[in-house]
Amino acid sequence: MGTIGWVCVHYNIVTAIRFDMTIKGVLMNHQDTNNNPHHPNRRRFLGACAKWCAGFAAMWFPVSAFGCANKKQCKPTEDNIEGPYYRGGAPWKTHLVPKGEGGVPLEISGVVYAADCKTPLANCLVDVWHADAKGSYDNDGVDDPPKQTTKYRGRMRTNAKGEYRYTTVVPGRYLNGPTYRPAHIHYKVEAKGHEPLTTQLYFAGDPYIKGDAFVRASLVISLYSHGKGKKGVFNIVLAKKQ
């Protein structure tokens, strides 16, 4: 049992001792309270009983069941499919929108952490790509072979605090068989001494999330209003290289 657990048990032992001292004093005067449910001594007696019962339960049941230990579990970011539209060698840029193209402006930022979920990783490679506002990639087969464009693709490095940031537009959805894939952004993240990560980012409230086989709850973020567009935060945890 950790330090927090022992503190909880200690508290309940003290509570039990106080109850014992209180109940002895109350019982000495309890004979006069049998016919008066509002008598102060009777209220003290009932209050002491309630406190002792709570303390007894916390002493004998797992501490975590009562919220004494509520640590957030640290896990590496889940991976996700690469998909067919990855193209290596994307330009080094953090503004992904080609000149003249529209859509809802979107800013995504975050921090890349080591496996302990606390240590920021500087100089990580973050490679992102996604469909345009209409749901089309720049290499989705319109041309054969596809033109070597770099629309909505970019590579960047995290700063000394492990932070990254880029601006783009909210991606559109596209048909995947009989239904649409929810809007998403692809990621590849690499850092020295850590396992490379390929994953995707999804957005809360998308009606196609529920029926999509690839979505993972941990990869869904909320978007907030930001000027004329949207803004979101996607932090990443990399697994230590084996």
Task: Report if residue 40 sits inside a domain.
Answer: yes
pLDDT of residue 147: 63
- Please classify residue 35 by burial: count the beta carbons closer than 10 Å to its beta carbon, then call 0-12 exposed, 13-18 middle and 19+ buried: exposed
Task: Report if residue 99 sits inside a domain.
Answer: no
Same domain assignment for residues 109 and 224: yes
Q: Indicate which CATH number applies to the domain containing 233.
A: 2.60.130.10
Last residue of a domain, one of 37, 66, 95: 66
pLDDT of residue 32: 46
Same domain assignment for residues 151 and 206: yes
139 phi and psi, to 5 degrees?
-130, 40
Alpha helices in the chain (DSSP H): 3-28, 40-60
Task: Report if residue 98 sits inside a domain.
Answer: no
Mean pLDDT by 10 residues, the chain (242 residues): 43 43 43 48 48 43 37 87 94 95 97 98 98 91 62 97 98 94 98 98 97 96 96 98 91
pLDDT of residue 91: 95
**Cα separations in angstroms, 61 against 24, 64, 66, 201:** 27, 9, 8, 40
* Rounded Cα distance, 108 and 141, in Å: 28
Last residue of a domain, one of 17, 48, 66: 66
Closest among 224, 233, 234, 166 to 199, alpha carbons compared: 234
What residue has token string 């007894």? Answer: 56
Task: Report if residue 47 sits inside a domain.
Answer: yes
Same domain assignment for residues 126 and 223: yes
Residue-number span of the structural domain to which 39 is assigned:
3-66
Same domain assignment for residues 114 and 50: no
Last residue of a domain, one of 13, 46, 66: 66
Same domain assignment for residues 62 and 109: no
Give the tokens for residue 38.
Answer: 């509002």
Same domain assignment for residues 147 and 56: no
Same domain assignment for residues 120 and 207: yes
Contacts (Cβ under 8 Å, ≥6 apart) of 186: 82, 83, 85, 86, 128, 129, 130, 198, 199, 200
* Rounded Cα distance, 171 and 228, in Å: 16
Residue 166's SS3 state is strand
Task: Report if residue 83 sits inside a domain.
Answer: no
Identify the helix (H) or strand (E) that includes residue 237. Answer: strand 236-237
Task: Report if residue 89 sits inside a domain.
Answer: no
Task: Report if residue 147 sits inside a domain.
Answer: yes
Task: Report if residue 77 sits inside a domain.
Answer: no
b/e per residue, 174-211, with b = 16+ CB within 10 A? eeeeeebbbbbbbbbbebeebeebbbbbbbeebebbee
Same domain assignment for residues 7 and 125: no
Same domain assignment for residues 35 and 120: no
In the chain, how many domains are there? 2
Same domain assignment for residues 39 and 149: no
**Cα separations in angstroms, 1 against 4, 69, 77, 126:** 8, 10, 28, 40
* Rounded Cα distance, 231 and 167, in Å: 9
pLDDT of residue 150: 86
Same domain assignment for residues 109 and 32: no
Same domain assignment for residues 129 and 223: yes
Give the tokens for residue 76.
Answer: 């590496």
pTM beyond cutoff 0.75 = no
pLDDT of residue 118: 97
